[in-house]
Amino acid sequence: MIQKNKWAWAWVPTLYFAQGLPYALVVTVSVIMYKKLGVSNADIGLYTSFLYIPWVIKPLWSPFVDLKSTKRNWFLGMQFLASVALLAIGLSLPTNIFFITSLACFWMVAFASATNDIAIDGYYMIGLTEDRQSFFVGMRSVFYKLANVTGQGLLVVLAGFLENHYGDNTKAWAYTMICAAFLMLLLTVSNFFVTPKFESSAAIVLEKPKGFLEVFASFFKKPGIGMALAFILFFRLGESQLVKMASPFLLDPAAAGGLGYSTSEVGTIYGTIGVIFLTIGGILGGILISRQGLKKWMLPMLISLNAPNALYALLAITGSTNVYAVTGTVIVEQFGYGFGIAGFMVYLIYVAEGNSKTSHYALATGFMALGMMLPGLISGFMQEWLGYDGFFIWVVIAALPAFVLLRYIKYPPNFGKAKA
């Protein structure tokens, strides 16, 4: 019999690093890569936003992950599949059909990553006792964010270095994606050795879903679910568009309304420094909610998520390329995002409360992903139509519906507060 909590200090960090890395590569790094390979903003916004679909629809197969095989087998298989697909991206970039081929491989990574998320979160609840789940929630968040630093920070810096070294963006990004593939493979091998086979123990009782239709029906019968889903969809309406065009804005030359920063500079400022402050904001948000409950902090967190977006509008209007102004804008925006998203994630946990909690959480996060995907689809077209200055003003305005909906959603004032 394998005891719960075994080797948790080893497998919690590596599992959540392996959860965050492919997501960062699909959602953020793909945008920068296609920008440097000459793809238009409209195509970047449209086609990379479609890559959110696996995270939107993952609730459709989340009960299947529960019913078939073990969660350990699922996440090991999906991590290996992601490694192979990333390698295929690197090998396809020098070809004449790189855009179609690499997009197809990114789709494979996205589906593998979404399934990997379901399996890891389920394994986390099986492998840890309730008190240890609470204890390690901060660590899993930190290592997920470190994966983002590695993906949209260090790997982008590597790509920038290789661009300068070879004078060939295609070769630079091909080698970068191959490196990402081997890093993902290394994580897969590590997780194979450090994750105990909890599900082979007779002491572990697996929570099986009642049935696909019952799981979905019980979710949509929750009191106030319509208003809750509207809030989830609109919570990130502005930010979901900004995140798609922030990197192109930093990379585009002044003639196109951008700031003309290099790939390495964007990797350092946005992908490394920015993500570090995002992590700090997220940890601080979690601490404050645990001390005083969600009600006290939901409005300040919604403001912190959206107000910093006005700084991007200011940069675009003034055309300032001052490194301190740009870095300061990214720091404030990323810290505000991390701080604000903490409240949002706690609210999603509240929405998932009750029976079939795991499947309902997958449904809630699926709607969250839909709220990211749909605005992202039009972000590139909006930017090309309005210019960067008009686009960032629109992003600020797009935040207003969430503030209106906040007045109508209901949840316990002390939800999320640690019990004495």
pLDDT at 273 over 50: yes
What is the pLDDT at residue 354? 67
- Look at the block and give the residue holding tokens 């679909």: 53
346 vs 310, higher pLDDT: 310
Per-residue confidence (pLDDT) for residue 18, from 0 to 100: 95
Mean pLDDT of the 6-11 span: 81
pLDDT (0 to 100) of residue 204: 47
Q: What is the pLDDT of residue 356?
A: 67
Contacts of 103 (CB under 8 A, 6+ apart): 47, 51
**Residue 2: per-residue pLDDT:** 64
DSSP state of 417: P
Which among 60, 330, 382, 8 has a CA at the least distance from the CA of 195? Answer: 8
Question: What size, in residues, is the chain?
Answer: 420
* Helices (H) then strands (E): counts for the chain: 20, 0
Contacts of the segment 187-192: beta carbons below 8 A, 24+ positions apart = 187/14, 187/17, 187/18, 187/21, 187/79, 188/18, 188/76, 188/79, 188/80, 188/83, 190/14, 191/11, 191/14, 191/15, 191/18, 191/75, 191/76, 191/79, 192/76
Q: What pLDDT was estimated at residue 334?
A: 87
Residue in the block written with tokens 């590590």: 190
All structural domains of the chain, each given as residue ranges with its CATH number in brackets, are: 1-208 (1.20.1250.20), 212-420 (1.20.1250.20)
Of 212 and 391, which is predicted with more confidence? 391
What's the mean pLDDT in 28-57? 86
Please choose, from the candidates 37, 32, 266, the residue with its C-alpha nearest in 3D space to the C-alpha of residue 171: 37
Residues 6+ apart with CB under 8 A from 36: 159, 163, 169, 173, 251, 263
pTM (two decimals): 0.73
- Say which residues have a Cβ less than 8 Å from residue 68's Cβ, sequence separation at least 6: none
Q: Of 413, 57, 53, 399, nearest to 231 (Cα)?
A: 399
Amino acid identity of 111? F
For residues 212 and 239, give the distance between their C-alpha atoms in angstroms, rounded to a whole number: 33
Confidence of residue 129 (pLDDT cuts 50, 70, 90): low
- Decide if pLDDT at 4 tops 80: no
Residue 376 has pLDDT above 90, yes or no: no
Task: Measure the CA–CA gap between 54 and 211, rounded to whole angstroms.
Answer: 21
Greater model confidence, 121 or 309: 309
Reply yes or no on whether the pLDDT at 201 is more than 60. no
Distance CA 110, CA 108 (A): 5
| 45-86 pLDDT tens trace | 888 888 888 987 888 888 777 777 788 999 999 999 999 999
pLDDT of 154-170, one tens digit each? 898 899 899 999 989 99
CB 335 within 8 A of CB 277: yes
Q: End-to-end CA distance of the chain, in Å?
A: 33
